[in-house]
Structure 1
Amino acid sequence: MLPQVYKKRQENKIEIEKLEAKVNRLQRDFDNGRYTSQYDYDDEWSPLKPIIFPCRTSHTRLFPKKHSFSYSYLYVGIPVGWRGWVSSLLTADLKTLPWRGRKPKNGWFNVDSADHLARGDSMHGLRGKLDTYLESQNEKVEDYPDAYLVTAPRFFGYSFNPVSFWYLYNRRKELKAMILEVNNTFDERRMYFLKDTDPNNGASGDEIENLATGKVDQNGDQGQHSPNQKQLERFTNSWSKDFHVSPFNSRKGAYSLSANDPFFPHLSTRAGVARVNNTITLSSSKQHPKLVARVYSSSDSIDPYKLKGFGTFKFIAAWWWVGFVTLPRILREAAKLFFRRKLHVWFKPEVLEDSIGRNETDDEKAIAAIFRDYLRTLVTSSDLPFALQFLPGIATMSVEETFMPHALREKPNTQQCAVTFKITSPLFYARISRCTSIPKHIKVNLSKPDPGTATFHTSHPDLLAKLFEESPSVSNLFKIWPWGKAALIDKYAALLDASPLAPIPLPNRLRWVLINILRHLPSPSHPYTLSDLDACAVHLPSTDAPKVRAYRKAVLKMLLSDYVAFGMPAAIDAAFWIVKVWLCWVCVQSFDGLVGLCNGHGQLTVIEVGKVVMGFLGVHIWWGLGQAL
């Protein structure tokens, strides 16, 4: 009995020493800023590690015209949850680490969680965003304890990443699900959560053990795999196409995926073994294969921990340019399809509810801030028995926000349902900034839904329409005199003085007048009114003056672009910069005349005098151009 007790104590002592050593090592790494206490990645205990995958990608179009191309591509693999760096070569999510000292700079190649899944950053990095996404798909996070991301990294902050692959493993370390994260050239994104549909992929433990111990041949990187191994390591799935990727394909059809597990079996990461080999086939609505896209390892994978000194320099010199030429390569092939193959170009529809729209502009962000205040006021002042869950579709705003009517706050048991109001495209804000009545705009879009042009979606269209129908338009408070023969200022006198708040400065009043003129030109039958958003902005307290100023400037730019820039606000910004550059040139030229005048050489002409005056006033004019709107 005593020998057994002694043996047990010794085993416990050894186990405690191992745990103490692990805690000390993790504390040391934490102090150095390599790991964080949540979602730790431990290269001793985890079977996964960062890997570099030199690859090639190929596209083969089968009809209506045959076309194919192939070029080199670079992927890196990141264990989901790892946050740190490999020397100066590869980094991941450094900004999410709790730095105690100076934060190091990103490496040559960097993976940022803000570029993946939902828009915006996450304090928990890739693992936190993955868990949130799995919950949105009604999946249990604990079913996928190991996950691996294969993606194109950023180089010097730039990356164009058409597709990323997430490999999700169960507790038996078997590949049971994947996430395909697809980005198009219009800055839109769609995630597809896929579960393995191959019935032969549920291998027994003995079969996997035989493969792991070498009883089944695994030397066939060039097609020498045994049939059993091919079945066990292959992941397959099919799904309907609902995302606009190429202008030469409609949004109809279906995709199918055939992907190999790069770490089969048991998440093996032996040097050179891990490989990427994924094939996506696009079929037409008549089930005919139309396009085959493939990405595969062109050579053995590279362990970044083993690249030192000259090896790191050699790798960077060989691969730094690949990310920069991805988009130009795509545009080159698109030009061939359009000019040589004469393929039909499909109009780009707006994204569907399950997709993510493009990133917003600064102008759309400013309008969205006022719209959220307007919507909050609209809901909280209503008597309807439901709450509104608002998803703004803006990366820098809250992912979702719930507005509660006062009736529900007083009688919470009267709530029947929560209505979801999701903005899927920032274009929504550009559109409502141009209309006078938001309820009318919402009602028209709900009465004639068009998936190709819809910029918002709702779970209960009838209830959302009821909310806007029963809420009075706030712009009715700001009706002003109809068209008359009075002077311009008299026409808009009521508009300028209708606000019960403190008097508005004259420059701002004139800006509101200009907005009203540009939104709809005056007519005898249409009284002048502020739009719903304008009225909401006017009613905001003085503490929100910067937000109101940004909104007013954005709306003016939107409306002005409709008249002089084909509805493109970016052209207005470009025009301002051109004027500023010209102003700089005038200022520089004026100094020549000023020097000549000071030296007494000749006399200045009227034009030269004007240049000198412009030179002295150049700084003020520069500032004035920025404040004009």
Structure 2
Amino acid sequence: MDGLSEDSPLLPVVLTGDLLDRLSEHWSSSSVAAFAFSAYFTFVGKAVDLWLVLAFVGWNHASAITSLIKSLDLTQFGLLTGVVFPTSVLGYQFLGRILNVQTVKWNGLGRPFLIPSRTTHTRLFPKKHSFSYSYLVVGVPVGYSGNANGMISANVSGPSSWLSYFLGRRAWFDVNPADYLQRGHRDDGLRGKLDDYLENQNVDPSQYPHAYLVTAARFLGYHFNPVSFWFLYSQEKVLSAIVLEVNNTFGERRPYLVTRDFEAERHIQNGSTDDERQEPLRSRVKGSWNKDFHVSPFNSRKGSYSLLASDPLGPDMEGFRGIDITINLSSSKGHPKLVARLFSEGDALEPSSMGIFQKTKFLLGWFWVGFVTFPRIVKEAAVLFFKRGLHVWYRPEPLKESMGRLADNIEKQLEDVFRQYLRHLVQQSPAPITVKYVPSGVVGAAEEVFSSSSVTDSSATAESVEIKVLTPVFYSRFVHYAHDFEAVFSELAESCTLWVDKPELLPKIFLKKASPPLHASTPFDFLCFQLIKSLRSRPERIERPLTSADQVSSSSQGLDIRDFRMSSMDAFVIGQGDTTLKKSYRAAVLRLFFADRIAFGNTDLLGMMELGARVGASWVLASLINQAIRGFS
């Protein structure tokens, strides 16, 4: 400034006065921008909104930012950090994986193998259709833990993330126990999960001390696995049973246990000729069972399967002879409908014996197969629907023996609330009763047993009931009901999202009560739960099975003239001192109810609408900030 040196002690005073003078001239635009920014981020703003505002402001001042970058001459630095450095790191990691020759020593039975295969499907009824594709599976002994020459890993501890692959802890093809049988991770890995499953089937795991898993492994974290085969062996190392673990495209899962009928095999051998008896027979498992799981949208859930599977391992579980598995599907009337095969194509490869060239060649030839499995399924489905004209069977809710899909974020939040609420109801029940609660779709959510306060250790009159949630959609449907009693029996008998072994005991848990008053601790809680009460409406019944050939019937649900009120679970949440629980519950329920009103019940669509609203709000805030900035320039 004229007449004032930079060393003058009056300089800060003068600069402050100049700033105040500018603020007084442009106080309206500055105050509006500051107020709008503060109010928005106080109530609904998130980190993404801040980044959007900064992006819009930066876009408006792009010329100034460009000039700054040019003055810094960052071209060479950007090329080095953005291209050369990442390429060098990735190349180093790739070469490190190829050159990795460290293999965990395995002293058990069986060895890890890479198994190039082919899968064929032949549809016989009601329209003929067939296809054949290359397929890659791996075989690992159940109990093996470690990394086999950088090609196959199994039971590796820690989360399955890109970092674990990048650092080389996991091999190119990884068998993660969290992907199999019961949801979630276990410290004892695949063997522990297998033992739990067998015990749930009332089978002693000691009958099958050895097991070998054939499955489509993860490749760099990606996983799509329609079916896995657990080959179970006796103490004498003889193939005795198979567990088929079937997954559908909806994330649901159904394991089937098929045991070998040794008595029938002896009967067949007794009727064979002497020459046939002298031929060494390869062990096989043959069996059949009723279908009770939705796999293909072009087949109903009725019918039956039959299996014929050969032992992939050599005598005494040594070596590898290849896989040969055939599954037949028949209709409920006995018509053959589908024949599916999975068989080896070429020799299986043992990772420990693979050199650098062989590993590189194998990866280049097979890395893509797992990524195209789902697109291949979609392609064949399109042919069946558009060209063959087959009807589509819409997915029914899973049955008791199946595992439901994984829960979304809202369902996870509501499961935690429902668990606490159910525990509260059982403890408050005047009847001596114990409840075994089995959740659905939430990884790490364990089964739990609740007891009423009238149950004592010495009580012999306590009744027990098991409540199993079949699909996580139950949690989002339950909060739509104002009456617990109606909710449980509607979901049990009509929509089939719940299974109870003794339904007659439910009235002792879900008691009919008067409408609870709304006693909120804060005005904001009062407004939120009043809004929940106003938006609540009974969900429509889930009708199954339905096909694309059925006419969509108009809803026959009459007008519910009851006064929808705050539910008992609402009152339970309000009465808790846990602020986090209240916030999580009201946010989840309001999101569901708003989705019903403006997004056709789809929370993902509501999320897209919310993102659009946030972009618009951020643009408005950025415009106000830009206007204030121009006032100072």
Normalising by structure 2, we get a TM-score of 0.74
- AA partner of residue 516 (structure 1): K
1:272-312 deviation line (CA, Å, top 9, x unaligned): x4311101000011112100011111110010112232322
Cα deviation, residue 578, structure 1:
3.0
Code of the aligned partner of 1:43: W
Aligned mates of 2:622, 2:531 — CA distance in 1: 34
From 510, 533, 538, the equivalent of 2:574 is: 538
| Between 387-396 and 585-594, the greater mean CA deviation after superposition | 585-594
Aligned AA (1:579): A
How many residues matched? 500
Structure 1 residue 192: Cα displacement? 0.2
Verify: 1:73 aligned to 2:135, yes or no.
yes
The DSSP-based 3-state class of the residue aligned with 1:94 is: coil
Equivalent in the alignment of 2:31? none
| Aligned residue runs from structure 1 range 407-426, under 5 A | 407-409=454-456, 411-415=458-462, 417-426=463-472
Q: Deviation at 1:467? A: 2.8
Task: Write out per-residue CA displacement over residues 169-200 of structure 1, whole angstroms, 9 at most, x where no aligned residue.
Answer: 00111100100000001111000011013646
Contact 2:328-2:339 within 8 A present in 1 as well: yes
Deviations 1:119-165 (A, max 9, x none): 11111100111111111111111111110111101112111100000
Match in the other structure for 1:553:
587
Return 506-515 or 358-367, whichever deviates more: 506-515
How far has the Cα of 1:399 moved from its partner? 2.5
SS of the residue 1:192 aligns to: strand
Task: Check conservation: 2:216, 2:228, Cα contact below 8 A.
Answer: yes
> What corresponds to 2:530 in structure 1?
513
Cα distance 1:366–1:156, how it changes in 2: closer, same or farther (>3 A)? Answer: same
1:172-211 to structure 2, matched below 5 A, reads: 172-197=236-261, 199=263, 201=265
Among 309, 312, 326, the alignment partner of 1:259 is 309
Deviation at 1:594, TM superposition (A): 7.4
* 1:443 is aligned to 2:489: yes
Aligned to 1:43: 106
Give the 3 Å change call, closer, same or farther, for CA 590–189 of structure 1 in structure 2: same
Alignment counterpart, residue 457 of structure 1, candidates 482, 491, 499: 499
**8 Å Cα contact 1:201/1:235 also seen in 2:** no
Distance in 1 between the 2:311 and 2:297 partners? Answer: 31
Q: What is the CA-CA distance between 1:410 and the residue it aligns to?
A: 6.8
Q: Which amino acid aligns with 1:560?
A: F
Decide whether aligned partners of structure 1 residues 73 and 229 sit closer, same or farther in structure 2, where only a CA change above 3 A counts: farther
Query: CA deviation digits over 1:217-243, x for unaligned, max 9?
Result: xxxxxxxxx776675422111000000
1:274 and 1:142, CA in 2 relative to 1: closer, same or farther beyond 3 A?
same
Contact 1:388–1:402 (Cα < 8 Å) also in 2: yes
- Aligned 8 A contact 1:198 1:235 in 2: no
Give a deviation string over 1:8-40, Cα, whole Å, max 9, x none: xxxxxxxxxxxxxxxxxxxxxxxxxx99xxxxx
Secondary structure in 2 matching 1:554: helix
Contact map agreement 1:443 1:465 (CA 8 A) in 2:
no
Rounded to whole Å, the distance in 2 between the matches of 1:320 and 1:421 is 44
Structure 1 residues 330 and 107: alpha-carbon distance in aligned structure 2, compared to 1, 3 A threshold: same
Q: Counterpart of 1:111?
A: 175
* 8 Å Cα contact 2:404-2:441 kept in structure 1: no
Native 8 Å contact 1:202 1:232 kept in 2: no
Contact 1:233 1:264 in 2 (8 A): no
Counterparts of 1:92 and 1:292, CA distance in 2: 31
Change over 3 Å in CA distance of 1:524–1:351 after alignment to 2: closer
Alignment of 1:159-558 (within 5 A): 159-197=223-261, 199=263, 201=265, 231-269=281-319, 273-409=320-456, 411-415=458-462, 417-446=463-492, 449=493, 453-468=495-510, 471-473=511-513, 476-478=515-517, 495=518, 498-499=519-520, 503-504=521-522, 506-520=523-537, 526-527=562-563, 529-541=565-577, 544-558=578-592
Kindly indicate whether the alpha-carbon contact (under 8 Å) linking 1:134 and 1:141 is maintained by their aligned counterparts in 2: yes
Question: In the TM superposition, what whole-angstrom CA distance separates every residue of 1:47-89 from its partner, at most 9, and x where no partner exists?
Answer: 3111111111111000111001111111011111111112332
Deviation per residue, 1:347-366 (Å, 9 max, x gap): 21111100000000110111
Distance in 2 (CA, whole Å) between partners of 1:252 and 1:370 is 36
> Aligned pair in 2 of structure 1 residues 520, 48: CA closer, same or farther (>3 Å)?
closer
CA distance in 2, matches of 1:230, 1:533: 66
Alpha-carbon distance, 1:535 to partner: 1.1
Maintained 8 Å contact 1:189/1:358: yes
Name the CA distance, whole Å, in 1 between partners of 2:491 and 2:630: 66
SS at match of 1:342: coil
Secondary structure at the counterpart of residue 195 of structure 2:
helix
Letter of the structure 1 residue corresponding to residue 357 of structure 2: F
Give the % identical residues.
41
- Please give the alpha-carbon distance, in whole angstroms, between the structure 2 residues aligned to 1:254 and 1:440: 35
Is 2:115–2:138's contact at 8 Å kept on the other side of the alignment? Answer: yes
User: How many Å separate the matches in 2 of 1:525 and 1:134?
Assistant: 50
Distance, in Å, in 2 between the alignment partners of 1:203 and 1:112 is: 41
Match of 1:219 in 2: none
Instruction: Give runs of aligned pairs for residues 528-607 of structure 1, distance below 5 A.
Output: 529-541=565-577, 544-582=578-616
Q: Give 2:47's aligned residue.
A: none
Q: Distance in 2 between matches of 1:520 and 1:425?
A: 21
Q: 1:95 to 1:202 in 2, by over 3 A?
A: farther
1:357 partner SS? coil
C-alpha change, 1:330 and 1:230, in structure 2 (3 Å) is farther
Residue pair 1:283, 1:291 contacting (<8 A) in 2 also: yes
Aligned to 1:8: none
AA matched with 2:484: I
AA in 1 matched with 2:509: L
Distance 1:238 1:332, change over 3 A: same
Distance 1:229 1:337, change over 3 A: farther
Q: Which runs of 5+ in 2 are unaligned?
A: 1-101, 269-274, 539-558
Alpha-carbon offset, residue 397 of structure 1: 4.3
Q: Which amino acid aligns with 1:262?
A: P
Cα pair 1:233 1:265 within 8 Å, conserved: no
Distance 2:402 2:580 in 1: 32
For 2:256 and 2:376, the matched residues in 1 are separated by: 25
Change (3 A) 1:350 1:538: same
Deviations 1:491-536 (A, max 9, x none): xxxx3xx34xxx22x3332221221111149x99755631122111
3-state SS of paired residue (2:119): strand
Task: Quickly say closer, same or farther: Cα 1:591–1:306, change in 2 above 3 A.
Answer: farther
TM-score (norm. length: structure 1) = 0.74
Please list the CA deviations of residues 70-115 of structure 1 after superposition, one character each: whole Å capped at 9, or x if unmatched.
1111101111111111233221121269xxxx98532221111111
The alpha-carbon deviation at position 595 of structure 1 amounts to 7.4
What do residues 396-446 of structure 1 show as CA deviations (whole Å, max 9, x unaligned)?
34331001111112752222x421100010011111111111111223345
Against the structure 1 CA distance between its residues 157 and 583, is the aligned structure 2 distance closer, same or farther, given a 3 Å change threshold? Answer: farther
